[in-house]
């Protein structure tokens, strides 16, 4: 460290203070963080009052974070950092289904369901058939792939946001021998992220809304393949153009279509015609040394 602080030498002094960090990765991270944090401070030249406001904001974000509500993750989300970290960690070959954020609502285990089950027994809204296949990059079905599904209801709420104890609108499916999965559900509504805390205040102060477009969460995986955490986005939903957590990839947007198919309707107990969303998922092979 330098023994004479000055604006000119400050950043090098702090970088140097981390030089003896035993763990090389932690050293790299802290030295990079120092350089970028100081560059931000030098760029905006905060007043003492602005610095105090920043300290107060971060403190409020910390105070609101617990096992049920994680305001720092929300801050990471609205700053686009969660999606950026997701993208960096999930670079995939062309053709594989793209990833998006896990989100904060995968907090309970999805119950195992049979193909065709209704995830929305507690709900009145019209049913929609969601179906697809899990495929490899060559278009071959991945027999027995696991597909974990969770979603908000037609009011925009997840089960864990309500006082209900039973899992609702969640299911873990095992694909059939030709990689197919299908289930009945309701079409979810767009919804706001929790906006009664400091992150909500930040969104309001910056003229941003707190909404995410309607989506259904998926995690799909199978032996020998890289799992994918993703969403199916509902075509025509508001906020597809300006998801407040920057989660939308156009390759994941699917229409809700009307289908006229008496046989399928009868076998699933649906009216005819019925609503359907088709969503195939393509997994890349796991080529890591431990893959498989």
**Does residue 61 belong to the site contacting a copy of itself (CB under 8 A)?**
yes
Q: Any alpha helices (H) in the chain, and if so which ranges?
A: 10-17, 24-44, 48-63, 71-78, 81-89, 198-205, 262-268
- Based on the shown chain and the rule CB under 8 A, indicate whether residue 1 belongs to the binding site for a copy of itself: yes
Residue closest to 192 by CA, chosen among 238, 250, 148: 238
* Structural contact between residues 88 and 74, judged by C-beta atoms closer than 8 angstroms: no
**Is residue 268 part of the contact set for a copy of itself (CB under 8 A)?**
no
Which residues in the 74-93 window bind a copy of itself by CB under 8 A?
76, 79-89, 91
Nearer to a copy of itself among residue 234 and residue 270 (C-beta): 234
- Work out how close the CB of 174 gets to a copy of itself at its nearest, in angstroms, rounded to a whole number: 25
CB of 36 to a copy of itself, least distance (A): 4
CB atoms within 10 A of CB 31: 17
User: Least distance in Å: CB of 87 to a copy of itself?
Assistant: 4
**40 counts as binding a copy of itself under rule CB under 8 A:** yes
Of residues 121 through 180, those in contact with a copy of itself by CB under 8 A are: none
Q: Which residue in 248, 276, 281, 283 binds a copy of itself (CB under 8 A)? A: 248
* 24 touches a copy of itself by CB under 8 A: no
> Does residue 291 bind a copy of itself (CB under 8 A)?
no
Contact region with a copy of itself (CB under 8 A), list: 71-79, 104-112, 120-128, 265-273? 71-79
CB closer to a copy of itself, 207 vs 271: 207
Per DSSP, the residues of 158-196 read -GGGSS--S--SEEEEE--TTSEEEEEE-PPPPEEPP-S
Which one of residues 152, 193, 240, 277 is an interface residue with a copy of itself (CB under 8 A)? 240
The binder of a copy of itself chosen from 201, 250, 269, 270 (CB under 8 A): 250
Site for a copy of itself contains 58 (CB under 8 A): yes
Choose, by CB under 8 A, the member of 126, 178, 242, 272 that binds a copy of itself: 242
Distances in Å between the Cα of 68 and the Cα atoms of 6, 100, 106, 107 are: 44, 21, 11, 9
Q: Give yes or no for residue 21 binding a copy of itself (CB under 8 A).
A: yes
For residue 139, say if its preceding peptide bond is cis, omega within 30 degrees of 0. Answer: no
Q: Which is nearest to 161 in space by CA: 127, 198, 192?
A: 192
Single residue of 48, 68, 114, 263 touching a copy of itself by CB under 8 A: 48
Residue ranges in 188-217 that form contacts with a copy of itself under rule CB under 8 A: 205-208
The rounded Cα 253 to chain-centroid distance in angstroms is: 14
User: Three-state SS for 84?
Assistant: helix
Q: Tokens 């107060």 appear where?
A: 56
Contact between 290 and a copy of itself (CB under 8 A)?
no
CA dihedral (50, 51, 56, 57) positive or negative: positive
Compute the distance between CA of residue 176 and CA of residue 178 in angstroms, rounded to an integer: 5
Question: Looking at 216, 219, 247, 279, which residue binds a copy of itself (CB under 8 A)?
Answer: 247
For a copy of itself, give the closer residue by CB, 114 or 205. 205
């Amino acid at each position: 460290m330098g023994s004479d602080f000055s604006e000119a030498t400050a950043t090098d002094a702090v970088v140097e203070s981390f030089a003896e960090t035993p763990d090389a990765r932690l050293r790299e991270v802290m030295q990079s963080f120092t350089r970028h944090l100081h560059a931000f401070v030098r760029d905006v030249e905060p007043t003492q009052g602005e610095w105090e406001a920043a300290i107060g904001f971060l403190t409020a974000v910390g105070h609101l974070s617990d096992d049920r509500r994680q305001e720092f993750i929300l801050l990471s989300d609205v700053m686009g950092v969660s999606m950026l970290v997701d993208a960096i960690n999930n670079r995939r070959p062309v053709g594989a289904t793209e990833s998006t954020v896990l989100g904060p609502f995968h907090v309970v285990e999805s119950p195992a369901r049979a193909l065709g089950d209704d995830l929305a027994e507690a709900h009145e809204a019209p049913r929609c058939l969601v179906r697809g296949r899990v495929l490899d990059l060559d278009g071959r079905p991945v027999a027995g792939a696991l597909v974990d599904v969770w979603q908000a209801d037609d009011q925009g709420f997840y089960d864990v946001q309500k006082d209900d104890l039973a899992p609702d609108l969640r299911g873990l499916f095992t694909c059939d021998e030709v990689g197919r999965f299908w289930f009945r559900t309701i079409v979810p509504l767009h919804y706001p992220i929790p906006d009664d805390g400091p992150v909500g205040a930040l969104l309001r102060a910056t003229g941003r809304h707190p909404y995410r477009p309607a989506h259904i969460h998926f995690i799909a995986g199978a032996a020998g393949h890289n799992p994918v955490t993703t969403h199916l986005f509902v075509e025509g939903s508001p906020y597809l153009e300006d998801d407040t957590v920057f989660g939308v990839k156009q390759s994941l947007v699917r229409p809700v279509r009307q289908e006229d198919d008496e046989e399928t309707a009868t076998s699933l107990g649906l009216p005819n015609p019925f609503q359907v969303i088709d969503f195939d998922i393509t997994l890349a092979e796991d080529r890591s040394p431990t893959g498989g």
